[in-house]
Chains A and B, each alone.
Chain A
Amino acid sequence: MGLTPRPEHRVVEYDPSSQEGWVATRLDFLVNWGRANSLWPMPFGTACCAIEFMATAASRFDLARFGMERMSFSPRQADVLICAGRVPFKLAPVIRRIWQQMAQPKWAISMGACASSGGMFDNYAVVQGIDTIIPVDVYVPGCPPRPEGLMYGIMMLQEKVKRERMNDETLRNEMEPDPNSQLWIPAPTIDELSEPFGNSVHQTRSGL
């Protein structure tokens, strides 16, 4: 990534031919600028990738430069789920539930070969890529990725966030869990469980 110059950021631009108003595009720009520079990560570290993630967060590589120094160990206050490491099948319902508990808007980074594809663990116990469980925005290759690699993935996610449009219908189209599955919890139960600290059911900000 160092040798070729990266393309200019294509942030939200005003297109006079579109039906959108100028104010809406400016609001998009402002909101996205704020979101992209204050992504709170939910670290889901299960293996050696988590060590590299900790190195990224520590002083030498300094994740605080991206507004990410605040690790959110509660999914309810997190913006981006960083899955660092392999996910065994026994952990699959756990990461699914964590993802469901995160409030919109939310993104996911799959860090490393194991989280992205199962990696070398092509066996009976390991999920072959967390995108079979949750939607993933950025895949970071590597085994484990260097901190520079993770930072590059984070910057790619920031670019993605900066290009989001309020009027994009598909943007916050969240897959709802099947009410017949054991994973599904009715909203009143979630309310009761999460007292007195609020919950994600009432924090959904779909659309914006």
Chain B
Amino acid sequence: MGWTRKDLLTIRELEPAEILTLVDTAASLQEIAGREIKKVPALRGKTIVNLFYENSTRTRTSFEIAGKWLSADVINFSASGSSAAKGESFVDTARNIAAMSPDVVVVRHGSSGAPALLARELSCAIVNAGDGAHEHPTQALLDLLTIRDKKGHFEGLSVAIVGDIAHSRVARSNIHGMKKLGMTVTVAGPPTLIPPYAQELGCKVSYRLEDAIRDVDVIMMLRLQQERMHAGLIPSLREYSRYWGLTLDRLAAHARPDVLIMHPGPVNRGVELSPEVADGPYSVILDQVAKGVAVRMAVLLLLAGGRGGEAHS
């Protein structure tokens, strides 16, 4: 199925065939990373603006590399030390950027719904690089690509996502994507970090790590942030990691020997993942990062790749 949307805002609104188009395109683009000259001219002359209101060197760099390998001109705009810091509203910033005619705006923002706002205001393509606790589509896509790469297929696989589900856009995007591709998902964590009506998202809920990781094909651990402790949601990081942290012996005792360990990064070693697990043989965390560039190239290509005439050979 070809791609026809102007923007990539959520996984929730995509058809399974659209998700596969993105994943398949990304798979084809992986070989570019192995070339001596890592450049193809597909987006030559296109301008991509990275509009990042939240600090994220990792994701922003990934988008930047993706754009540059496609020969686009990439501009980075971070909120601090800019007009936003001087109090310019998000909407005004958006309009100012629009006036400069970019082809794509990649936006990361702390408020859920911010990319949707941009998509209405701007006529160029908008890519959601993470909005509040809502969605992080490219993360889910690279997670899916990693899973297929290792397991060969999607249908019938089971996944456990463990951690602060309530505040996780990675969890939400993955749940939507995995459900659409025929996987079963269980979310696990302390009850205070599981959002109300979580089952309505289409997943099972568990409050015990041991139960959640038994018999699953993939365990995805989420980063736990210090703020949750201060907000009274958990008593201490120590207690969290004692009961929901993934250690080698828990893994050995309960999980399958062919399980994949994933994490969107950065890892809090010793909190949600012990170092041995993070760096161990089950972990595909670095593969995820590598696939991130291919996925973002695929997204940029499908959203901004030319508007030519009829094909001639």
The answer to whether A and B belong to the same complex is no
